């Protein structure tokens, strides 16, 4: 059942773009009070519009946060034990809290946290904000203006936590006036990338994407992109995507045509038995890097300078790694989500061995 985020509040006691960004128009004011059945992933546009995926509904919401976009204190301060604090605000146990994504507002630099409270089909969505004093607030969206767009032919609802609607949207990013969305459809070639203009009208069929997976030694059409970002490569807009187990693939934006099928260029194999979780791009010492968090292989720092000339991986890579180089950042462990905070720092949510989640601002490596 789809519910308003306000119900959760009443229940309680209480950036890298492929090219120069095009300013997003204001959200149409005709719709107020979005009703989400789930929340996450998140992404901000250049004017502070928050794009939030409702995976269960296979729908993207564009939220005009208004006064909610900025707390009294700008920035984001560390919040130790954020999972326990969220559980306290939502009146539940930390084991019932899943942080599904974080996104930093482009001007206030407050961090917005998408959360699912509860397990399975009964889980409910919540959106929280962290400010520069480390204050954590649950936000009601009842007065928030919004528009939304449904993705066509979504993956079927399943009773398991894998595949199905859980992967109807795996990641999203705004660039140059368009929202890019990755996920699964119910079509034969299930893995999809959508390029949706904003303001929303409707979503087309998307582009079916195929890759050569070196560690598996075969072409794949059903494996979803797990994390991606827009990036300029050789002065052309691309999407750089991470897949489970762990190919790194680039797609020219110009190739994303509705109803078509394309094959991406695999430029790295980063190791088997792993899932990419989140990805940002940043500049340091005059060079550009990707920073990618992973389920079992730590946080990888990947220089982008070789992406344009990288040879495609088209033969099996049965063990180990291949393609563009990377290094594992030893100072960052257990990182689930991350987003750029400013030119020198990122916000990360990391997990400890006992399952506690902490939110911290860390120096970009």
Provide the residue ranges of all domains of the chain, joining segments of one domain with +: 16-363
What average pLDDT does this structure show over 318-345? 96
**Across 28-42, 96-110, 120-134, 308-322, least confident range:** 28-42
pLDDT digits (tens, 9 = 90+) for 168-194: 999 999 999 999 999 999 998 999 999
pLDDT at 47: 86
Q: Which of 172, 155, 3 is nearest to 101 (CA)?
A: 172
CA distances, 222 to each of 54, 130, 211 (Å): 21, 36, 10
pLDDT at 156: 75
Work out the pLDDT band at 103, boundaries 50, 70, 90.
very high
Give the HSE-up count for residue 253: Cα atoms under 13 Å, Cβ half-sphere.
26
What average pLDDT does this structure show over 313-340? 95
Evaluate if residue 97 carries a pLDDT over 90: yes
Work out the pLDDT band at 227, boundaries 50, 70, 90.
very high
pLDDT at 158: 59
DSSP at 120? G
Residues 27-31: contacts with CB within 8 Å, 24+ apart? 27/62, 27/63, 27/64, 27/145, 27/146, 27/147, 27/199, 28/145, 28/147, 28/199, 29/64, 29/145, 31/145, 31/146, 31/147, 31/148
Q: Say if residue 4 is exposed, middle or buried (CB neighbours under 10 Å; 0-12, 13-18, 19+).
A: middle
pLDDT at 145: 95
Evaluate if residue 53 carries a pLDDT over 70: yes
CA distances, 133 to each of 73, 76, 109, 130 (Å): 6, 7, 12, 8
Q: Which of 181, 169, 230, 243 is nearest to 207 (CA)?
A: 181
Tell me: cis bond preceding 199? Omega within 30 of 0 counts.
Answer: yes
Domain 16-363, CATH: 2.115.10
pLDDT at 30: 66
Handedness of CA 128, 83, 362, 324 (dihedral sign): negative
Neighbours of 25 (CB within 10 A): 12
Per-residue tokens: 205? 């069929």
**Across 24-28, 180-184, 226-230, 280-284, least confident range:** 24-28
What average pLDDT does this structure show over 337-351? 97
What average pLDDT does this structure show over 195-211? 92
Evaluate if residue 27 carries a pLDDT over 70: no
**Across 157-161, 170-174, 195-199, 357-361, least confident range:** 157-161
| Percent of the chain scoring above 90 in pLDDT | 82
| Cβ atoms of 323 and 356 closer than 8 Å | no
Evaluate if residue 49 carries a pLDDT over 70: yes
Work out the pLDDT band at 304, boundaries 50, 70, 90.
very high
| Cβ atoms of 340 and 282 closer than 8 Å | yes
pTM above 0.95, yes or no: no
What average pLDDT does this structure show over 140-145? 96
Rounded to the nearest 5°, which phi and psi values hold at 165?
-65, -25
Burial 255-287 (b: 16+ CB within 10 A, else e): ebeeeeeebbbbbbbbbbebbbbbbbbbeeeee
pLDDT at 163: 58
Per the DSSP assignment, residues forming a β-bridge with 149 are: 60
Evaluate if residue 11 carries a pLDDT over 70: no
Per-residue tokens: 219? 């072409």
Place of tokens 């994504």: 101
pLDDT at 347: 98
């Amino acid at each position: 059942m789809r519910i308003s985020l306000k119900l959760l509040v009443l229940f309680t006691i209480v950036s890298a773009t492929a090219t120069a960004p095009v300013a997003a128009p204001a959200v149409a004011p005709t719709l107020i009070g979005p009703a989400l059945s789930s929340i996450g992933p998140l992404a901000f546009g250049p004017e502070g519009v928050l794009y939030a995926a409702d995976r269960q509904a296979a729908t993207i919401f564009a939220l005009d946060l208004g006064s909610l976009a900025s707390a009294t204190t700008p920035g984001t301060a560390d919040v130790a034990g954020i999972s326990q604090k969220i559980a306290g605000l939502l009146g539940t146990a930390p084991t019932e809290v899943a942080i599904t994504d974080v996104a930093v507002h482009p001007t206030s630099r407050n961090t917005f946290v998408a959360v699912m409270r509860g397990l399975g089909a009964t889980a409910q969505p919540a959106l929280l904000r962290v400010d520069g004093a480390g204050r954590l607030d649950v936000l009601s969206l009842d007065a928030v203006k919004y528009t939304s767009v449904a993705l066509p032919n979504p993956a079927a609802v399943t009773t398991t936590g894998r595949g199905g609607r859980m992967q109807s949207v795996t990641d999203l990013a705004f660039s140059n006036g368009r929202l890019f969305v990755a996920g699964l459809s119910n079509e034969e070639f299930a893995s999809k990338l959508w390029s949706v203009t904003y303001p929303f009208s409707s979503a087309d069929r998307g582009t079916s994407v195929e890759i050569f997976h070196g560690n598996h030694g075969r072409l794949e059409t059903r494996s979803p992109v797990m994390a991606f970002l827009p990036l300029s490569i050789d002065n052309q807009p691309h999407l750089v995507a991470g897949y489970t187990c762990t190919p790194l693939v680039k797609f020219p934006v110009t190739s994303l045509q509705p109803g078509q099928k394309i094959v991406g260029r695999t430029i790295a194999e980063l190791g088997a038995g792993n899932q990419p979780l989140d990805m940002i791009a940043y500049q340091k010492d005059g060079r550009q890097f990707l920073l990618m968090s992973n389920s079992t292989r730590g946080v990888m720092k990947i220089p982008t300078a070789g992406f344009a000339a990288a040879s495609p991986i088209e033969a099996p890579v049965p063990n180990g790694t291949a393609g563009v180089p990377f290094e594992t950042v030893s100072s960052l462990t257990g990182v689930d989500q991350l987003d750029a905070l400013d030119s020198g720092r990122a916000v990360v949510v990391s997990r400890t061995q006992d399952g506690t989640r902490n939110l911290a601002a860390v120096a970009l490596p």
